[in-house]
Amino acid sequence: MKKYLPHIIFAGLCVVPLMNLSSYIMHILILVLMWSVIGMAWNILGGYTGQVSFGHAAFFGFGAYTAGILYYHLEISAWWGIPACVVILTALSLVVGYICLRLRGAYFALATLALGEICRVTTENLVDLTQGNMGIMIRERTWIDKTWYFYIILFIAAGTFLLIKIVMESKLGYYFVAIREDQDAAESLGIDTTFYKTISLCLSGVLTGIAGAFFMNYMGYIDPGVVFPLYDISITTVMVVMVGGAATYWGPVVGAVIMVFLAEEIRSLPYIGAAHMTIFGVILILIILFVPNGIVGDYKKLLKPFKRKKEASS
Amino acid sequence: MEQLELFLQTLIAGFMLGGLYALIGLGMALVMGVMRVINLAHGDFMMIAMYIAYWLFTLLDIDPYLSVFIAAPALFLFGLAIQKYLLTPVMKVESILPHNLVILTVGLAMVFSNLATVFFTGDYRSTPVSYASNAWYLTDFWSESPIELSLSMPWTLSFVLAVVITIGLWIFLTKTDMGKSIRATSQDVDAALLMGVNVNRVRMMTFGIGMILVAAAGCLFIPIYYLYPALGRQFTNVGFVITVIGGMGSTNGAVIGGLILGIFESMTATYIGMGWAPAGRFAIFVAALVFLPGGIASIIRKRRLGK
């Protein structure tokens, strides 16, 4: 049963658009799938390889801007952004990897944090290329109906899930985990840690960029404040993985479901809506303190209080 | 001649900004050295101190420079509480993800900046002190001077006070027992533990001192800057860029790093454009990562070892 869970969920999601759901619910589902892709992508680097990134907004925004610039300057469909961002994000990841993956400790986390800011400031100032703070808008959306967007992001998400599963069950995946657990030991066994960390970063960056290019096509409008913010994208990505569970297949998916619904719910509440960042921050702190490995990673620990009650009552 | 004047003026402004930046960087470097944690809520603590100074000025008419004596102890206690009830418990939690503590500080930063927006709105605020527009001119002292340079009075005051605080910290770190314990812990935790240093207490004190420094920086910044809730992020960035330029955890490096960053930012703002000043900050950060990953501390160390 457990073995076929992914197939069942995938088949279930394929039928969803046929159920004639309201446009708002479809929007939420699309966001959930998009965030699962970003979360899974972050998980390769942060969860499995142990290199925590605080700047995935940079990869996301790069993907979005690749699609946007192709549309705006070359006047071709923004969907070409998805194949194009594979090339561009590999290049970006190689540069970032060369600069900061040679170093250990907090350098990588700080460098990625800076990367997000660099991208935001640069896009704001390179007005000729990116339209600066005016942003880029796609004048005619491909479809008005959300069905096809849903299928596209569903296939991207399924592909990402499959790719991660294949990678993590191959030699490459074991290298990643070895690097996370003990970099010195990994190196002494002949693993070129910098090289494999860079591969991990490339995979993670490209997948996040694809999600970004999809975002451009789906939302039809981007500006630096929308795609490069620290808290709304980079830290939310970390939270998606931490809530769900780092280094698990299902963690980012569970995290994305929870975070997207939570964000929608909290933002729509009167008065409290303005304080949604505070609530997110408190949730983040509580998770670090009590369920450091996320809901999927620590679900046994979470079930404990309920089990004890059962024993007491029986 | 005008070019020279502009250059010198920029240099002076950058040097003063650097002196204040050094104060922010010092607090971060101390915490980094002892706890091996980059405190990404550093700038937000500064924001809190600035709000304290702002309200003291607006409601009670206390000079921002005097509010150091209120804001610094307040943040010291706040820092001790955070260290005791949040950071220490998290240090014991085992998890797959490394950098748990760093993520925790990000959570704190989110809470602080959002709460500030909720309570104080996003308005830009400042403390209009009576001497804000006073300035010293070079021609006042030397009337035949070929070039004209000016120094704003609040800037000078802030800079001088920052230097005084930095010297005070230096005396504390080199002459007192607690200071020596802090330096020992930052060099080698295990060795310090074996020598009978109460590492837990040292950690709490260090975090508290980091808070004092950042509170002082906040009070010195508010007469010359403006205040808004999201300001913390910008100064957190300044802090960690300085920490990396200076070499992780090195206090000497942090001072030099602060000065370099201040001058560099001032130069970018004058010669390239205001909007690019933050990009300049990160350009120097990337350059430090590529060419000098050990930071300025590694140069100092090499000198000392005579290599």
Rounded Cα distance, A287 and A294, in Å: 7
Query: How many Å separate Cα B159 from the centre of its chain?
Result: 13
Rounded to a whole number, what is the distance in Å from the CA of A284 to chain B's nearest CA? Answer: 6
Nearest to B285 among A114, A246, A289 (CB): A114
Put simply, the chain B residues between 239 and 268 with a CB less than 8 A from any chain A CB are: 240-241, 244, 248
pLDDT of amino acid B77: 92
Residues of B in contact with A277 (CB under 8 A): 110-111, 113-114
Q: What is the ipTM of this complex?
A: 0.82
Q: Residue B306 has what pLDDT?
A: 62
Structurally, how many domains does chain A consist of? 1
| Spacing of C-alpha A174 from chain mean position | 22
The reply to whether residue B97 touches residue A107, judged by beta carbons under 8 angstroms, is no
CATH number, position A209? 1.10.3470
Parts of chain B with a pLDDT under 50: none
Place of tokens 């004190």: B205
Mean pLDDT, each 10-residue run in order, chain A (314 residues): 77 78 85 92 89 88 89 82 88 87 79 84 81 80 80 89 90 89 86 89 92 89 83 86 86 89 82 80 87 80 67 48
Residues on chain B touching A288 (C-beta within 8 angstroms) = 90, 93, 95, 100, 103-104, 107
Residue ranges of domains in chain B? 2-126+149-305
Contact A107 B107 (CB under 8 A): no
Is the alpha carbon torsion for A121, A221, A81, A194 positive or negative? positive
Answer whether B106 sits within 8 Å of A125, measured CB to CB.
no
The DSSP annotation for A236-255 comes to HHHHHHHHH-TT-SSHHHHH
Q: Which two tokens stand for residue A232?
A: 């709304």
Q: Is B95 helix (H, G, I), strand (E, B) or coil?
A: coil
Q: Which residues contact B260 (CB under 8 A, 6 or more apart)?
A: B18, B245, B284
For domain B2-126+149-305, give its CATH number from 1.10.3470, 3.10.350, 1.10.260, 1.10.60: 1.10.3470
CB contact under 8 A, A288 and B103: yes
Q: What angle do CA B188, B191, B196 make, to 5 degrees?
A: 125
- Cβ of residue B282 closer than 8 Å to a chain A Cβ: yes
- State whether B114 and A106 contact (CB < 8 Å): no
Inter-chain CB pairs, A–B, below 8 Å: 134
How far apart (Å, rounded) are the C-alpha atoms in residues B13 and B152? 9
Q: Please give the radius of gyration of chain B, using alpha carbons only, rounded to the nearest integer.
A: 20
CB contact under 8 A, B103 and A293: no
What local confidence, expressed as pLDDT, does residue B150 receive?
76
Residue indicated by tokens 């300001």: B231
Q: What share of chain B is helix, strand, coil (3-state, %, to 5)?
A: 75, 5, 20
Selected residues 86-105 of chain B with any CB under 8 Å from a CB in chain A: 86, 89-90, 93-100, 102-104
Domain range for A263:
2-313
Beta strands in A172-275 (DSSP E): 221-222
